[in-house]
Amino acid sequence: DSGVTQTPKHLITATGQRVTLRCSPRSGDLSVYWYQQSLDQGLQFLIQYYNGEERAKGNILERFSAQQFPDLHSELNLSSLELGDSALYFCASSGRQGGDEQYFGPGTRLTVT
């Protein structure tokens, strides 16, 4: 158990819909990262928040957004969902802005039908 929790574990929704994925980092960790894992793209970095502020952005679509709240949990919002958004979404946390190991949650499997 990494100490990072993600909910829900599975999510099935229809095209055009909007969903919210939630992540609670390890106790004391200030950085939260979101990654997408799909068969065709592999593991890709989406976005990082550090102590409530956006720190780095990767290949995140404009239809996707995220935020980190004062209690340090984070939410990833995916809207206007398309079939191609079906993937495993991982959250990871670390203590610093960078230069340290990241601990991954169990992931949320999103299926868009």
Partner 1 sequence: AQSVTQLDSQVPVFEEAPVELRCNYSSSVSVYLFWYVQYPNQGLQLLLKYLSGSTLVKGINGFEAEFNKSQTSFHLRKPSVHISDTAEYFCAVAQGPNAGGTSYGKLTFGQGTILTVHP
Q: Which is nearer to partner 1, 57 or 63 (CB)?
A: 57
- Shortest reach from residue 110's CB to partner 1, in Å: 15
By C-alpha distance, which of 89, 92, 91, 93 is closest to 110? 89
**Which residues form the interface with partner 1 (CB under 8 A)?**
2, 4, 31, 33, 35, 42-45, 48, 55-56, 58, 90, 92, 94, 96-107
Q: What are phi and psi of 84, to 5 degrees?
A: -70, -10
Q: Which is nearer to partner 1, 12 or 17 (CB)?
A: 12
**Type and span of the H or E element at 33:** strand 31-38
